[in-house]
Amino acid sequence: MNLYVYTLRRLLYIIPVLLGVCAIVFFLFSVVSPDPTLIMLGKHASVQQMEELRRELGLDRPWFIQYLDIVKSAFTFDFGRSWSTKQEISTMIKQGAIPSLTLSLPAFVISFVISITVSLMVAFYRGKFLDKIAVFGCVSMMSISSLAYILFGQWFFGYKLGWFEISGYDYGFPDFIPYVLLPILIWVILGLGPEVRFYRTVLLDEIYQDYVRTARAKGLGEHVILFKHVLKNALIPIITNLIISIPFLILGALLLESFFSIPGLGAMTLNAVNASDFPVIKAMTILTSVAYIIFSVITDICYTLVDPRVRLR
């Protein structure tokens, strides 16, 4: 099948999937969740006050109209206004995207480069002391709560040593760099354990395949086998893990942005959850879902570029 035809067909699949996502979002926030007017006004609010607020928020309209509003926002990215700040949600997203991306993109790239490098090293020295130390370190790092890393990093590197800023954010390059260095370091440390374990497992699965034994029998060196054959054949799960992680970068890091007072999308979402600001929560849910669907299509297309055995159907 032609790549363009396949891409177009997969993009058309986005429509029914997105309609289903909108239905789930509507069910969760309009049917299952408690009455938002009761949350906003408090338990001592009168029935009249609740009814007036329901009319103001548009919650008194038929459920089908409310569902269509969610569908419309998913295709137009016009999410209305926040209940708590009264700002346009699209404007809030634009303002929060820059701080989130200045944190998440460098952390994502650095984390991937370090993880794949360490994974190749431990795969090369599999079963030896370095491999055992790396596995032990990964499990140990994964066993510690992310809050412990954040609080220790702020206290030790920020407060005691004074190496990093521990709160705030300054727009503009390079003014924001001092404020994101420590969150990036913590992000990389948090992701190192699970990513190294995953990539190590993927590489070892390939190392024990028959074609590797054949390559050794032909006299190829371990370096050539690892980098030219094993890594190439392991690219599909690596690409899957890498690309599917990209959509979630738009949220930044909820805890990191909150603890370091970075005004990104993660902090905005967390504030919306605390304030029961359903329009903002719905907007971020839909935005993440759309990005996930699009990058799933990109992942399938990338498969054909790294593995000729994969055929578009």
pLDDT band at 309 (very low <50, low <70, confident <90, very high): low
20-29, 82-91, 177-186: range with highest mean pLDDT: 177-186
| Section 56-81 average pLDDT | 80
pLDDT for 99-129, tens place per residue? Answer: 888 888 888 889 888 888 888 888 777 778 8
The pLDDT of residue 310 is 59
User: So what's the pLDDT on residue 313?
Assistant: 59
* Helix ranges, 246-277 (H): 254-259, 265-274
Mean of per-residue pLDDT scores for the chain:
80
**Backbone φ and ψ of 81, nearest 5°:** -110, 150
What are the start and end residues of each CATH 1.10.3720.10 domain in the chain? 90-275
Q: Which CATH architecture group holds 90-275?
A: Orthogonal Bundle (1.10)
The arithmetic mean of pLDDT across residues 225-245, rounded, is 79
Q: Are 251 and 101 in contact (CB under 8 A)?
A: no
Nearest partner of 212 among 232, 189, 240, 184, judged by Cα: 232
The closest of 46, 81, 63, 98 to 252, measured between CA atoms, is: 98
Longest dimension (CA), the chain: 84
Q: For 8-20, what is the mean pLDDT?
A: 81
Dihedral sign from CA coordinates of 246, 248, 254, 257: positive
pLDDT at 206: 80
User: Cα separation of 152 and 149, whole Å?
Assistant: 5
Q: What percentage of the chain carries pLDDT values higher than 90?
A: 0
Distance CA(191)–CA(138), nearest Å, equals 10
Taking the complete model, does pTM exceed 0.95, yes or no? no
Helices within 58-176 (DSSP H only) = 63-76, 89-124, 129-143, 146-153
The Cα 92–Cα 96 span in angstroms is 6
- Of residues 1 and 266, more confidently modeled: 266
**CB neighbourhood size of 93 (10 A):** 19
Average pLDDT over residues 238-264: 78
**R_g of the chain, CA atoms, integer Å:** 24
